[in-house]
Amino acid sequence: MNHPAHQPTESLAGWRAAPATPGTALADVDTPALLLDLDAMEHNMASVHARIRAAGISVRPHAKAHKSIDIARRQIAAGARGICCQKPSEAEVFVRAGILDILITNQVVGPQKCERVARLASQARIGVCVDHLEQVRQIGEAARANQVRVEVLIEVDIGHGRCGIASASDALTLARALQPYSGNLVFGGIHAFRGSAQHMRDPAERSQAVSKAVAQLKEIVAALEGEGLNCITVTGGGTGTYMLEAGSDLYTEVQPGSYVLMDTDYAANRNVGDTPMLRHALFGLCTVISVHPGHAVLDGGLKAFAVDQGLPRVLHAGWTVKSLSDEHTVILRGDEAAPLNVGDKVRMIPSHCDPTVNLHDWLIAVRGDLVEEIWPVSARGALF
Amino acid sequence: MNHPAHQPTESLAGWRAAPATPGTALADVDTPALLLDLDAMEHNMASVHARIRAAGISVRPHAKAHKSIDIARRQIAAGARGICCQKPSEAEVFVRAGILDILITNQVVGPQKCERVARLASQARIGVCVDHLEQVRQIGEAARANQVRVEVLIEVDIGHGRCGIASASDALTLARALQPYSGNLVFGGIHAFRGSAQHMRDPAERSQAVSKAVAQLKEIVAALEGEGLNCITVTGGGTGTYMLEAGSDLYTEVQPGSYVLMDTDYAANRNVGDTPMLRHALFGLCTVISVHPGHAVLDGGLKAFAVDQGLPRVLHAGWTVKSLSDEHTVILRGDEAAPLNVGDKVRMIPSHCDPTVNLHDWLIAVRGDLVEEIWPVSARGALF
């Protein structure tokens, strides 16, 4: 099989130079740039993987958070069994890079997307989620036409109120619907993820949410296994709850994504028991372009930082973020704060890492004050 | 001069296929796609340009809204004297496409960016804004080293509270600071834009804001011209106020950007007097991937729609948007609404066009129910 590493990405990025080269001093990186602190990322990856390994289950990190071939390869090297993606076009980027075990944690609908999944399944182990017979029909026809095997997980709604069936009878209906496609659709088990549970600040509340989900899922798994439909995989969980699913005696793998990068939203969670504390590894680096008595203006705005989970945080003593517009952030000077000058550089912590990374072409991987590597955001914009 | 049309963009987009080809029926476009309704865009462009031409001033549309070479070329063909950009790397995309009169409506700070501007100025007429002596020094040194001429506008803060000086004396200080760089920095006049005024819903309030700004600016212009510093250009205004600056007897050009596309934020403005009503030209097309008794789930979320100005609006009778997550939008079914099915496609109106366009690689230009052309978002991600 032929999967030239980085080839598609390099042709993507070739026309627009990265804001630094390896060896650049941090002070000389052009802005607004997205910095990845390698020490922090390595700490997060090692400690979370160790915690999950200790629980005896697998980690399949979600690549929608970082969209980076380089990070995904390190996750695999650090024991991940594969990765999650959210879209077929995202999975294509990683399969081309040689990552050959991918779960698409989403419903795949429409002829173009089903065809893409079927083609991927000729090169890699690909799973998808279903919660409706029409999805089974569409992916089943594409898998049959392409003579490939696609793993199918039934998505269960455990309180998120988005996708997923909720009852054992619906799960049985879906699982039985795979049978006409046997040989092309392989029943794999259950996918159950509750995004809203990830950000419950109180660990007791998160624990309660996961316990309730596990009870619901155990009933569904029992019903399926009662009909000989073995749930080899029960997968879900994220950065806020992975330690709870890991202790559930049900989940066989967890899907944390943000844990390698972190953001202000996850940092606002209170930690669960003995779980490793995560470090901020992702920072926006901005330049001060305009200064005034009570405020200064940075050269990155809404096109450099996602704001769906609130404003990013500026890391400069006494200064706070007031507002973002398309290409500017206005920061306010507190009473005790030292002034900033035109040309000064400041770091920001994104409020939500996933959509922030998706705004950038490059991750500038730094160690201390030096740029170590430049990593393309290989799956940026992979919407299809 | 050599500026191969679209060459850099095609190498950008080549590895990831567009979600449609010319001639595709709208029903067959892969999703989530960004549709551009050509009839609506042409109406918006023609009527706004006519309104500005009738006032006897110039239009220099802001390309940060659309980031599209194809739209910029049509704007020039429809009488625009040039375009505005917000970043040097954005301007590079348009200069390479042969658009050779660009105002960067921003402070340009840092050696990499000043060098980029100086190189652009060897091929095109390039203007930049200043509000601090340090910016003058940096762009002046780069222009001198490259033996080019850069036009410099003094940015005036007319109430936005972001960049810009506010007084005639500060304007004089900055204008005089250009003199050591004479031959390389050319004083052009004034840039004065108030983003917040664009979205005042009440036209009387907008009118008052512009009148107040014009009084402030007239004083500054008089002080500059009293020292022989002619303000050949007084530029600013946007989609919400361009008709007011056009009637100000001061502004020589206006910079609307969103007018060609429109969004729900601008649509919430009440119109000023005889100003042309603008039509929505930009739509997100999404597929229903999951259906439930009270809600359905679409296949585009925060990575397809910016939400800084609120949620997008779904165009399907009786359905409303509840929430967006990274790759999903949950829509709620009203009591009278017909159900949606897995595979149905629905249109969304973005709440804020600029950062939404920046999330996409392609604009799918449609007329009626047919795809007419596929336009790359050529300056997507041009952050530097």
**Is the pLDDT reported for residue B277 higher than 90?**
yes
| Predicted local distance difference test score (pLDDT) of residue A99 | 98
Residue-wise pLDDT for A83-140, tens only, equals 999 999 999 999 999 999 999 999 999 999 999 999 999 999 999 999 999 999 999 9
DSSP string covering A209-228, please?
HHHHHHHHHHHHHHHHHHTT
This prediction has a pTM of 0.95
Mean pLDDT, to the nearest integer, of B133-151? 98
Name B173's Cβ contacts closer than 8 Å, sequence gap at least 6: B133
Provide the pairing of β-strand B233-236 with B185-192.
parallel
| Predicted local distance difference test score (pLDDT) of residue A376 | 95
**Helix A133-145 × helix A168-177 angle, to 10°:** 20
Q: How far does A230 lie from chain B, in Å, by closest CA?
A: 25
Tell me if A79 sits within 8 A of B256, measured CB to CB.
no
Tell me if A270 sits within 8 A of A207, measured CB to CB.
no
Mean pLDDT, to the nearest integer, of B298-307? 98
Question: The tokens of A377 are what?
Answer: 């955001």
- Give A 133-172 residues with CB within 8 A of chain B: 134-135, 138, 161-164
Q: How far does A271 lie from chain B, in Å, by closest CA?
A: 23
- Chain A residues within an 8 Å CB radius of B64: 326-327
**Is the pLDDT reported for residue A11 higher than 60?**
no
| Predicted local distance difference test score (pLDDT) of residue B15 | 53
**Chain-chain contact of A383 with B300 (C-beta, under 8 angstroms):** yes
CA–chain centroid gap for B290, Å, is: 35
Whether the ω angle into residue A355 lies within 30 degrees of 0, i.e. cis, is: no
CB contact B293 to A (< 8 Å)? no
- Chain B residues within an 8 Å CB radius of A299: 109
**Is the pLDDT reported for residue B264 higher than 80?**
yes
**Chain-chain contact of A15 with B32 (C-beta, under 8 angstroms):** no
Mean residue pLDDT across chain B: 94
| Predicted local distance difference test score (pLDDT) of residue B5 | 35
CB contact A4 to B (< 8 Å)? no
**Is the pLDDT reported for residue B6 higher than 90?**
no
- Chain B residues within an 8 Å CB radius of A32: 383-384
**Lowest-confidence pick of B8-22, B64-78, B307-321, B355-369:** B8-22
**Helix A88-96 × helix A111-121 angle, to 10°:** 30
**Chain-chain contact of A110 with B30 (C-beta, under 8 angstroms):** yes
CA–chain centroid gap for A258, Å, is: 6
CB contact B295 to A (< 8 Å)? yes
Q: Cα–Cα distance between A218 and B191 in angstroms, integer?
A: 65
Tell me if A299 sits within 8 A of A328, measured CB to CB.
yes
Q: What confidence category does residue B235 fall into, taking pLDDT thresholds of 50, 70 and 90?
A: very high
H or E, element range at B168: helix B168-177
Mean pLDDT, to the nearest integer, of A233-253? 96
**Chain-chain contact of B134 with A342 (C-beta, under 8 angstroms):** yes
Beta sheet of A83-85, edge-to-edge order: A58-59, A253-254, A233-236, A185-192, A150-155, A125-130, A101-107, A83-85
CA–chain centroid gap for B11, Å, is: 24
Mean pLDDT, to the nearest integer, of A128-156? 98
Mean pLDDT, to the nearest integer, of B216-221? 98
| Predicted local distance difference test score (pLDDT) of residue A271 | 87
Question: The tokens of A34 are what?
Answer: 């997205």
Tell me if B307 sits within 8 A of B319, measured CB to CB.
no
| Predicted local distance difference test score (pLDDT) of residue B200 | 92
- The Cα-based distances of A272 to A192, A198, A279, A343, A384 in angstroms read 20, 12, 15, 41, 36
- The Cα-based distances of B116 to A142, B95, B149, B156, B305 in angstroms read 49, 12, 13, 24, 31
| Predicted local distance difference test score (pLDDT) of residue A15 | 53
Tell me if A114 sits within 8 A of A141, measured CB to CB.
yes
| Predicted local distance difference test score (pLDDT) of residue A249 | 96
CA–chain centroid gap for B151, Å, is: 21
CB contact A132 to B (< 8 Å)? yes
**Lowest-confidence pick of A220-229, A271-280, A316-325, B242-251:** A271-280
Mean residue pLDDT across chain A: 94
**Is the pLDDT reported for residue A49 higher than 90?**
yes
**Lowest-confidence pick of A4-13, A203-212, B64-73, B320-329:** A4-13
**Chain-chain contact of A307 with B308 (C-beta, under 8 angstroms):** yes
Nearest to A341 by CA among A308, A298, A312, A300: A298
